Structure 1
Amino acid sequence: MSLTWEAKATDGYARAGTLKTAHGDVPTPTFMPVGTAATVKGMTADAVRSTGAGIVLGNTYHLMLRPGADKVASFGGLHKLMDWSGPILTDSGGFQVMSLAGLRKLDKDGVTFQSHIDGSKHRLTPEISVQIQHKLDATITMVLDECPPFPVTEEQAQSSMEMSMRWAGLSRDAFVPRDGYGLFGIVQGSVFPDLRRRSIDALMQIGFEGYALGGLAVGEGQEMMFAMIEATWDHMPADKPRYLMGVGTPDDLLGSIARGIDMFDCVMPTRAGRTGRAFTSRGIFNMRNARFADDGRPLDPGCTCLGCQRHVRGYLHHLFRAEEMLGPILLTWHNLTYYQTVVAGARAAILEGRLDSYIAAVRARWAEGDQADG
């Protein structure tokens, strides 16, 4: 039996469920920390687990270049290499390759590109991408697709979407079914609702274990992103997980959960942590700001992360001003914990039929700001 998703409760469009995989069950909605190169930057696997994460993400493009899919396989696959026994989703590499601009050449069968590391030439096709993800032992494999830039004309978006749907079929043919594993299709069509609905129809004819919304959070803005989710929600299978790729801020997550999304990933909490930005229940703080130098309070009272439990804001400020590596580590740890807290709270609220009031309360605390704590 392939990977499955089981609904537990609904609240409006929002859903709480369980993703059942070969590497364990994951409650949804869920946020997946990004471990691009077989590591969530600055975090051990135990640290990632302590945040409440149940599934992480790896990346085909980066891992095929370094250390190489065959080498990962020789080490026992990503799960063993990363010390992560839970599910792993691997992005197909399409987004990264399409971002290479002058270093890649696209054709109807795939893309030829030069490595950003050493300039070496490589080929990525739907079949090759799926084969690499199999070697990585990805619990969830993503089809190879083209993510068009924004803005894009409707004609360009249609051509790109149709090619991605062809690639989706080739990816399905190349995928080797295994108990508890799955292949996700990716909906494309930019900001054109009709194209997105046509994309969903094409993917459903092929048949996948889950469906992702791609090509969003690329500059179109939150309002348009939410509009595209709303335009496609009723056309997506009710018994399959829905994954919004590369999103986003805590507010993006809450708004998308309310619109029926089950799974998310984004580099934002880890990237922000490395640059001194903290996502908290009272809004976003810049820990380099001088106002934190003498602040003896925890970063976010009630947070269970190591930084909040054992250190004060003044110490975190000092670490960043002194350029000590512990600062980014602790803030990454906190941000990932906060993301998991927000999503877990949304799940509990869906199960109890109070999601709207939960979202309103979270947003109200953000609006009150830091002064509400003291």
Structure 2
Amino acid sequence: MIETPGLFLTVLAFVLVIGPLVFVHEMGHYLVARWCGVKAEMFSIGFGHEVFGITDKRGTRWKFSWLPLGGYVKFAGDLNPASQTDPAWLALPAADRARTFPAKPLWQRALIIAAGPVVNFLLAILILMGFALLYGDVRTPPVVREIVPNSAAVRAGLQPGDRIVSLGGRSVETFDDVSRYVKIRANETVRIELERSGTIVQRDVVIGTQEQRDRFGNEYQLGLLGIAPDRPVLLEVGLLEAPVVALRQTRDIVVTMVETLGQVITGRRSVKELGGPLRIAKISGEQISVGPEAFVFLIALVSINLGFINLLPIPMLDGGHLFFYAIEAIGRRPVNPAVQEWAYRGGVVALLMFMMFVTFNDLGAFGLWKNLAGLIG
């Protein structure tokens, strides 16, 4: 039976995921800027018209805006929330000019911009550390216990007792490494390296495809090799080991994200799999109805996604600013303001088009276009 959370729970879960993560991200920018002596004029959760807010004794306006899909900190010397430089900053009195963002040395500006994504990664690592301390670290050796009949593993000649050494030239240490690699490579041909009775054996296999549907009716297409793993080993994790486990898990998530994005760009994976705020809201509602552990893990996952996306070298995003700073560091002078202006305009257009596209995808995933086609037909 398909269980779906109601609209209220979905909206509440979405706010509980996005709101704190945006706040943490922007707080990273804000705190490092304060440490560098930069005045923050505005700290906004959301975009557009202000719903409510307060102004603190430092002159910073803390506000909530009506479109809660992001946020920004506007520093002294910024022309707009995108942190484009206001030419008027040079005309300010010396004391005020010293507290502007453009007046700071390059390394401080880079630290301020990088702080947002870094804090998102740190939050996720802290959450994953908590899971490791509470539940331990499950390590399943990459040993084949049994083979599923008529599967890709059968066609590749795998046998029980085989130990998988590498996939596609990438070494594996646990069965989770195998699972992560295989599930995003449906229908791809992969070279498998095995250890069998002390001998290294190589096989080429076409990864199978499995259609799955979860309890909420969401359908997924996953790669399937068709092997059952050996018994997992549960390792207790101490305070010193927890960061190592969390960092390893964060690395694995980022690698999977990069590979999946690369598959979309190269056409090996459908662009229909790209989701936006509506799909995040849907998944948030589903995970909060599953239980607190699933919901907290989702927060960690979205935090990693938020940090990763913001580091992409796209104007308007933190990564775009860092890209310009890298050019400035190499060329020993800032990028031409006209070039930056056109880059930011292009970034705005690209982000708006992307948001429209993923929203279209989300509505399609909810069945809207299919239902409309049925009504018209």
TM bucket by the smaller chain?
under 0.3
Name the TM-score, length of structure 2 as normaliser: 0.27
Higher helix share: 2
